[in-house]
Amino acid sequence: MSRLDGLYQQLILDHNKSPRNFGKLDPHSHYSHGVNPLCGDDYEVTLQVSPDGIIEKSAFVGSGCAISKSSGSLMTSAIEGKSVADVLALKDRFLNLLICDTVTEDDRAVLGKLAVLEGVKKFPARVKCAALVWRAIEDALSESAVQTISTE
Ligand code: ZN
């Protein structure tokens, strides 16, 4: 585990231990189920979106590694109160942070706490863990939601 030490920063550990918004919204307006078979991460994401397209509440529940769980906690904390369009733009910026070498200080400023997960870039297998809940949100918000998405 020692080479992962740099990755498990305090914030990630904290969100893994006490995930925010952990549960299932009932009722909810949007739903998706995301699985990452490589790691065993498996989460349901529920959203309550207002008629004018604002994420009023979001929650996630399930099981998986520290990276996937902290990503779900950070994501649900970050998107509440934002418009669907803003959340999808944030998702693109976050996924870019995980894989791209051209991340700017501007990107990091917009991402805020989400930027702590940038460390997974050095561990390609963990990128899917961090991205999973965002893929699920993307699916939940799409017109043709497929209910269960897989990283494979
Ligand atoms: Zn994982």
* pLDDT, tens only, 67-99: 999 999 999 999 999 999 999 999 999 999 999
Separation between Cα atoms, residue 9 and residue 35, nearest integer Å? 24
Distance 131 CA to ligand 1 centre (A): 10
pLDDT score recorded for residue 145:
66
pLDDT band at 7 (very low <50, low <70, confident <90, very high): low
Which residue would you say has higher pLDDT here, 147 or 91? 91
**pTM as predicted:** 0.90
Span from the CA of 130 to the centroid of ligand 1 (angstroms): 7
| Maximal CA-CA distance, the chain | 48
Question: If you write DSSP's letter for every residue of 21-79 in order, what string do you get?
Answer: TBS--SS-SEEEEEEETTTTEEEEEEEEE-TTSBEEEEEEEEE--HHHHHHHHHHHHHH
Q: How confident is the model at residue 8 (pLDDT cuts 50, 70, 90)?
A: low
| 2 CA to centre of ligand 1 in angstroms | 17
Ordered structural domains, the chain, with CATH: 3-150 (3.90.1010.10)
